Structure 1
């Protein structure tokens, strides 16, 4: 008799009424303070930890996607830059590049205490524009979001996502 030992990873894809991310008004927060108002800027806070912010900022030739901590001094401290990947359930759960206007929520696993996000360092994604990581960051993780693609030609190969806290992603990225 063979015994089966496996790892069960519970992935929570939130219904529309229980999102983990909430949009921040474009005239508030990071986007409200951005010097260049011609840049694209989107910001979300994490409902489970409102001081954690996800920001997409940039131009047609490159948008930087990063997590930040909003400090009590009302300043933003960079946590990690990421590659956003969205799972689009309307397209057989295919994976696509996560443009900011397509992102609706972040995928996460139910962990003990803090949320653990689904991410992977095992990918072939790369920057195709004017985007740069902080000097300490040597690797950029792909992070899984939930959304509806408006760019169906911008597919991403299937990835093996693992649950990780932001602090674990930062450490694995070189920080």
Structure 2
């Protein structure tokens, strides 16, 4: 079965209201308090202000969503009692909805998001770990509507009300399906499939039924992850493919930058050169991490991938070879600056080499903070860097 792109376009008209399972998120555009407003970068435009309870203490946090000047990146600032609690960033899209639900034994709710454009929406469940938003599961959305008993519909973002769970916090899910889906969307390498996760709601497109999938059953989030091949974080072996020491801030503390093996890839070379996690240690304690800085392998051309990390004073540069087509090799340089307890993107550069014409001169391109603003190390992604080009 295929879900047509133009039907997703129709559904955008129903995205004006955001909800969570069990709590409403008011999509307000009122001005934030002066104290909070001072913490929002002046070069960002406020898109919405919401009230929600992320930690189950019955005190609602304020969530402000902003956009950069070029409308390429969206930012979420989560405030509690006037203090910044979390800061998330992601590529801007015309579709951006979220729901909150507690799926484990802690008090902190997980976040379910539907994000993207008319030609493709990614549905995923996230957990907040160490102040970061970590994707736990990407899925296809199935919708049950009480007006149509016995039928299952495609869960368009504007139609979804809440996740279907039982008293044990297990999720209603359909597994082991061979479902053909249109559009651009993410299928993580470590997932064998996108399971169908069930929601309650009201369909606006009753003709868009989902047929020929297996009967749903209740499974915990951990069970679902295991059944589709996702390894738990505790069983993941962190094997460095590159490691270097540094002396940042002149504070006599030993720092270490580790570039880790990508164990989700089957090819031995690719495991050491593409889509590699990076962790920075302060002493023996993990200080900063980013899983999205080393470019993924491109199927359209051949490149060497990750090369090295060069360190000088309070700066370090991640060097990587990418490609734009079969003939053009692109050497990328992602430079960061350590400033006290934070690391910021300092500049991003690309140099080019034409394999078909060695005499061809191609000028290097460089982007600095003037182009992309002040961005923390943990918020930089290859998708963001590609949008600078």
Q: Tell me the TM-score normalized by structure 1.
A: 0.76
Say if 2:153 is the partner of 1:96: yes
Q: Does 1:154 align with 2:208?
A: yes
1:127 aligns with 181
- Matched residue pairs, number? 153
Equivalences for 1:26-175 in 2 at 5 Å?
A: 27=48, 28=63, 32=76, 33-47=88-102, 50-73=108-131, 75-111=132-168, 115-157=169-211, 159-175=214-230
> Do the aligned residues in 2 keep the contact of 1:83 with 1:125 (CA within 8 Å)?
no
Indicate the RMSD between aligned Cα atoms, in angstroms.
2.4
Q: Deviations for 1:24-60, whole angstroms, at most 9, x for unmatched residues?
A: 5664378735554443110111156543110000111
Corresponding residue for 1:5?
none
1:10 alignment counterpart: none
Return 5+ residue gaps in structure 2 as ranges.
1-19, 28-47, 49-62, 66-73, 77-87, 231-389
CA gap of 1:159–1:89, structure 2 versus 1, over 3 A, is farther
Larger relative contact order (CA 8 Å, sep ≥ 6): 1
Q: 1:155 to 1:103 in 2, by over 3 A?
A: same
Are residues 47 and 171 of structure 1, via their aligned partners in 2, closer, same or farther at CA, if it must alter by over 3 Å? closer
Q: CA deviation at 1:127?
A: 2.6
Quote the Cα distance in structure 2 between the aligned partners of 1:60 and 1:123.
24
Alpha-carbon deviation of 1:173? 1.5
Task: Report the 3-state secondary structure (helix = DSSP H, G, I; strand = E; otherwise coil) of the residue aligned with 2:223.
Answer: helix
How far does residue 21 in structure 1 lie from its aligned partner after superposition?
4.5
SS of the equivalent of 1:85 reads strand
Who wins on radius of gyration, i.e. which is larger?
A: 2
In 2, the alpha carbon distance for the partners of 1:31 and 1:149 equals 30
- The structure-2 alpha-carbon separation of the partners of 1:31 and 1:82, relative to structure 1 and needing over 3 Å to count, comes to farther
TM-score of the two chains, using structure 2 as the length reference: 0.36
CA offset at residue 144 of structure 1? 0.8
Superposed displacement of residue 71, structure 1: 2.3
Distance between the aligned counterparts of 1:21 and 1:122, measured in 2? 30
How far the C-alpha of 1:156 sits from its partner, in A, is: 0.9
Once residues 59 and 116 of structure 1 are traced to their aligned partners in structure 2, the CA distance between those partners, rounded to angstroms, is 30
Task: Name the CA distance, whole Å, in 1 between partners of 2:223 and 2:139.
Answer: 13
- Equivalents in 1 of 2:228, 2:140: separation in Å? 12
